Amino acid sequence: MSNLFSEIKAQVERHNPIIVLPEGTDERILEAAANLAKDKVVKPILVGNVSEVRAKAIENRIALGDDVTILDPHNYDGMDEMVAAFVERRKGKETEESARQLLLDVNYFGTMLVYLGKADGLVSGAAHSTGDTVRPALQIIKTQPGIKRTSGVFVMVKEEQKFVFGDCAINIAPNSEELAEIAIATAETAKVFGLDPKVAMLSFSTKGSASSIETKKVSEATKLAQKTRPDLVIDGEFQFDAAFVPAVAQKKAPESPLQGQANVFIFPSLESGNLGYKIAQRLGGYDAIGPILQGLNKPVNDLSRGCNASDVYKLSLITAMQAINQKVMS
C-alpha cells in the first residue's frame, strides 16, 4: 500500500489542495492535519473553537504549526456570505435564521467551505455517523449531472494488485438504472488510482446461466451502462470466477471483452458488496481503502469512527486526488 500512496502523494503535492477536516478537537484529526501540513501535501483547515483546538493539540503533544488553519463557525468573518449562499442553495427550504443555526454544525460549515470554493474537499466521520457526513454534501454540493445518487467504493490493495469494489457503503438495493450509474462512476474512480477500468457486473449467474429478477436486474444494468458509456469496458452479468479467472472466463463467457481480467467489480446489492470487500480484506489479506464517496460535484469522504490518524491522512490524500482529477476533467 505504501507504493500506492507514494504515487498519490507525488501527484497531490504538486497542487497542494485545501482539505477541510471538520472534527477539529479529535486527536486523530489533529495528528493527521499536523502531518499533512508538515509534509506539505495538503493545506488542512480544522473546524472548531480556536482555543479548544489548540488546547487539545497541546494536550496530545501535537505541533500544528502555522500551515494549519483553524476556523470557528461561531466567529467566522464570512458567515453572512455563507448564510446567504446556503439559503439560496436550499431554495426556500431554510430561512436565514435556520441557516445561521445549522451552519454552526461543523459538517454543514465545512461542506459550505467546499461549496464556496474555500476548500477543495472534506473528510469527516471520525466522530460522526455516515449520515452526518453525507447529508450536508447531498443538500449542498449535490450529485454530478446525470447521477441521481452518490455511492461508496473501496480500493482493495495487496502488494502490486489494485481492484475497486462498489457499491459497498451507501445504496442498499439499487435498481438497474442506479446500478448502471454506480458502474460508470466506479470506472471513473478507478482511473484516479491509475487503473484502466475493466468493469464486471456481478451476480450469481453468468450470461444467463440462471434466470431470476435479481439476475435480470444486473443484465439490464449492464446494457444501460454500455449504452451510456460505450467507451468503457463493462460487461455482465458475471459470477466472480468468470470475471476474474481467465480459464473460467474462456468456458463461461468466451466472447466477453473482459476475458477474466476485470479490475472493477460492481456488486448487485449493499449486502453482497459489504460482504465481498470484508472477505477479501480478512481472508485475502487485502487492504481496504475507503469508503470513497463518488458521484458528488466536489469530493466529500467519510471515515470510520474506528479510524486512526494514518487512515485520516490517507483519506485526505485520496480526497485531494479526487479534487485534482475533477478540476482536470472540468
Chain segment 111-139, per-residue pLDDT in tens: 999 999 999 999 998 888 888 888 999 99
Helix/strand/coil for 91: coil
Residue 239: which pLDDT band, with cuts at 50, 70 and 90? very high
Residues in CB range of 136: below 8 A, 6 or more apart: 105, 107, 108, 110, 111, 112
- Which of 10-19, 197-206, 226-235, 321-330 is predicted with the least confidence, judged by mean pLDDT? 321-330
Report the alpha-carbon distance of residue 279 to residue 266 in Å, rounded: 15
Interval 227-254 mean pLDDT: 94
The answer, yes or no, to whether residue 330 has pLDDT greater than 90, is: no
Residue 262: which pLDDT band, with cuts at 50, 70 and 90? very high
The answer, yes or no, to whether residue 1 has pLDDT greater than 50, is: no
pTM of the model: 0.86
Helix/strand/coil for 296: strand
Interval 245-266 mean pLDDT: 94
158 DSSP β-pair partners: 161
Q: Which of the 8 DSSP states describes residue 74?
A: G
